[in-house]
Structure 1
């Protein structure tokens, strides 16, 4: 890591946030606006976004590739140099939470978790990586999780969620290698935000130790600071909110 991004006050010029109606996504939009980013495209299924002069809302659906392609067409002229995928699921809409045992595995529910946590971000990358500038600093990042680390897995369980994030981490590494051949200053990274007070974590907050739960605004500041401190040599890695690298 380096302080290259933190010393470059012109970066980012234009940001795209997918999942802008969620706790972390909305906070990222707010923080980017506070930092003076001139144009922030804020995507959600509803089209809702924080209201500032800099923010342009758009609608997308992870299950609809055309909506993602349309979003790419919308932002292309603004030359985005920061794209963050702040989407994800831990508990499905029907209330199904992460499996604590292999006996609870269900093929359809596994497929849904992988569709949201892995395939959706990959399709966003397909359409947005080509938009990143070739001659200047750019970042494509996606929210991942420490539990997606195979080397760090000591408890087991949460099978679909762990697998979906591990697969996402592998895809981000693949994208970093491929993009690095043409975009020498580009960075692709996974981000572990910690446990943030959001809809995703709410069912699992009861037994958290004091001080482990962070507010979305604090998480957004930490994540953006972490991205600002990355250099091209860090591309393909998974980084925690405090800037430390997590072993795959």
Structure 2
């Protein structure tokens, strides 16, 4: 089997890469990054024949096209694709607590990274996933993107961009079902994981609910392994529960 992890420089994406590399069932692992990390560089040196690293800015469609072309030079089949790119805060942008904090340029950034990047990848992935064998396109979403579950408000850009991600990939699942019934598209909520994304908000996480990346990815891989065609286009939590839209 071959796997592609989009957003592999750190956090959940990096851990997916590590686990795929350690799993003998996977022949080639492709990993995209915007900014590389020492950990990813170390993995590339340790698994030079198995790991292919690709620098991609997911807000630039030409970068995605170039990465797809490179992958096709090495294989015409991907069995699992993980989209693990996401932004909640950076040096300038923080999740909004109220309407007075909304800035249009921040909203655009949230949507570009958390939603649009995933559907741009989907635009070019079909030939690599289509076939007689089962294939998975699993996208890391977030429970806060559930409209039905939203009882707290706030975090306008992050919530809305994750809700948009869910709708975009639901559309993809319907379109692909018509032409490639072997592909399962799934939206996954990873829980609160001990990464840079969650660090400023970890003090409010209940005891036992802050997962190390190793646990998060192990749980998500269990969910992925248990997916069936009937699960195409559905939204799952880390424990396998279906989440409301």
TM-score of the pair, normalised by structure 2: 0.92
| Candidates 97, 101, 108, aligned match of 1:100 | 97
Q: Is the 8 A contact 1:139 1:186 kept in 2?
A: yes
Q: CA deviation at 1:133?
A: 2.6
Q: How far apart in 1 are the matches of 2:158 and 2:35?
A: 24
Q: Aligned partners of 1:130, 1:159: CA distance in 2, in Å?
A: 35
- 2:116 matched to 1:129? no
Residues 1:46 and 2:35 are matched in the alignment:
yes
Q: Report the counterpart of residue 57 of structure 1 in structure 2.
A: 53
Q: Greater relative contact order: 1 or 2 (C-alpha under 8 angstroms, separation 6 or more)?
A: 1
User: How many residues are treated as equivalent by the alignment?
Assistant: 235
Partner secondary structure for residue 16 of structure 1: strand
1:62-94 CA-to-partner distances (Å, cap 9, x unmatched) read 121111111111112411111111000000332
Q: Is the 8 A contact 1:81 1:133 kept in 2?
A: no
CA shift for structure 1 position 47: 4.6
Q: What TM-score, normalized by structure 1, do the two folds share?
A: 0.91
Higher helix share: 2
Q: Distance in 2 between matches of 1:65 and 1:195?
A: 30
- Point out where structure 2 has 5 or more consecutive residues left out of the alignment: none
The answer to whether the Cα contact below 8 Å between 1:134 and 1:182 also exists between their aligned partners in 2 is no
- C-alpha spacing 1:43/1:81, structure 2 compared with 1 (3 Å): same
Measured on the aligned residues, the alpha-carbon RMSD in Å equals 1.2
Is 2:16 aligned against 1:28? yes
User: Is 1:129–1:140's contact at 8 Å kept on the other side of the alignment?
Assistant: no
Is 1:156 matched with 2:145?
no
- The C-alpha deviation readout for 1:92-125, integer Å capped at 9, x for no partner, is 332x211111121111111111111011111111
Does residue 1:69 correspond to 2:65, yes or no?
yes
